[in-house]
Amino acid sequence: MATIRDVAREAGVGVGTVSRVLGGGAQVAPATRERVEAAMARLGYRPNTAARALSQRRTHTLEVVVPLVTRHFYVEVLRGIEEALAGTDYAVVIRTIERPASRGHAFAALGQGGRADGVIVVSVTPDDDLLARLEAAKLPAVLVDAADLALPSVVVDHVGAAREATRYLLGLGHRRIAIADTPDDPFTPGVAVERQRGYRMALAEAGVLPRAEYQIAAEASPEGGAAACEALLALPEPPTAILACSDTRAVGVLQAARKLGKRVPRDLSIMGYGDIEMSRHLGLTTMRIPVRELGQAGVGLLLEALAEPPAIPPQITLEAELIVRRTAVEPGQAGGKEPPWPVVTPF
């Protein structure tokens, strides 16, 4: 590999000059610049990243910390991050943390040895210890899908999303609306709570009393959704609509409803949450959560912080969008219409 000295010799200049044309900004005589560039081309010269990082104290690398959980959600966030970084000269290194328990351990290594210029933490609400460490390391950081006033943060408005979903169901005429969600999410404990608040707000606005038995725990899988659906339909007064708090759960709800002989949406309306790709094909009515946008916005905030540390860390909230498809209609007893095609029930 050719080094900067080889280029300098080849071009008949000092290494400092080569470095200056490399940097771009500095003042170099046009003729000199051309000679140097020609020499670089001739030698196939590539600046050494490590040497550069060492003397610049900048790695041109961003670190993103994500839970290992290989869920669609994190993949989408990463996509958003990559998209936003496409135009820049930043590389990204991804660090996954296994379980919440190992957080302390994982974060001990954050920005380890100046491996990164900044860090994007996904779906982890930092504790005081982590905040102190980031501060001490002077490592610019942003939070994605989690928030703290001390750090630039970008979140989704889950209260608003669940509220809008519930409102939509209410608007259709449903009064017996159930919600199936995680009782507690290990990474972002607040989210399920927020959704349930949105759900209750919408009910309250419509003057509908919330029922404890309609708020049911469901694991984040088709199986979890199916179990919740079965329990719900076994109730003396089963709901006429179920808001599954992930599209994955909604698939299970659809399955279980089918097995129990229910016609969707005529006998039971179902809404998902997230709008994953499959949902379009299934005709699932759902809330689109701007996940990719989370990643993009996170990069935006980090780049800004890198350029100039903000006096007060900006807090961004992204709104969800209602996607009307075919799994939710007026309740059957209120004269529900069949959609043009029978709704599909996976099994």
- 92 makes contact, choosing from DNA, its own copies, none, with CB < 5 to 8 Å by partner type, with its own copies
Q: Among residues 91, 86, 66, which one has the least CA distance to residue 76?
A: 66
The footprint of its own copies on residues 298-337 (CB under 8 A) is 326
Q: Which helix (H) or strand (E) holds 226?
A: helix 222-233
292 and 79 Cβ atoms separated by less than 8 Å: yes
Q: What are the residues binding DNA (CB under 7 A)?
A: 1, 3-5, 12-20, 22-23, 26-29, 31-33, 45-48, 51-52, 54-57, 113
Amino acid found at 342:
P
Residue 233 burial (CB count, 10 A): 19
Binding test (CB under 8 A) with its own copies, winner from 26, 38, 93, 204: 93
- 16 makes contact, choosing from DNA, its own copies, none, with CB < 5 to 8 Å by partner type, with DNA
Binding test (CB under 8 A) with its own copies, winner from 9, 79, 176, 288: 79
| φ, ψ at 22 (rounded to 5°) | -60, -45
Q: What angle do CA 270, 275, 276 make, to 5 degrees?
A: 115
Per CB under 8 A, 223 contacts its own copies:
no
CB of 264 to its own copies, least distance (A): 12
Binding test (CB under 8 A) with its own copies, winner from 11, 39, 59, 271: 59
Binding test (CB under 8 A) with its own copies, winner from 256, 258, 291, 294: 258
Per CB under 8 A, 282 contacts its own copies:
yes
Taking the C-alpha atoms of residue 332 and residue 174, their distance in angstroms, rounded to an integer, is 10
245 and 196 Cβ atoms separated by less than 8 Å: no
Q: Which is nearer to DNA, 24 or 236 (CB)?
A: 24
Taking the C-alpha atoms of residue 179 and residue 264, their distance in angstroms, rounded to an integer, is 17
| φ, ψ at 232 (rounded to 5°) | -65, -45
- 309 makes contact, choosing from its own copies, DNA, none, with CB < 5 to 8 Å by partner type, with none
- 337 makes contact, choosing from DNA, its own copies, none, with CB < 5 to 8 Å by partner type, with none
65 and 121 Cβ atoms separated by less than 8 Å: yes
Residues at the interface with its own copies (CB under 8 A): 1, 46-54, 59, 61, 70, 75, 79, 82, 86, 91-96, 109, 112-115, 137, 222, 251, 255, 258, 277-278, 281-283, 326, 341, 344-347
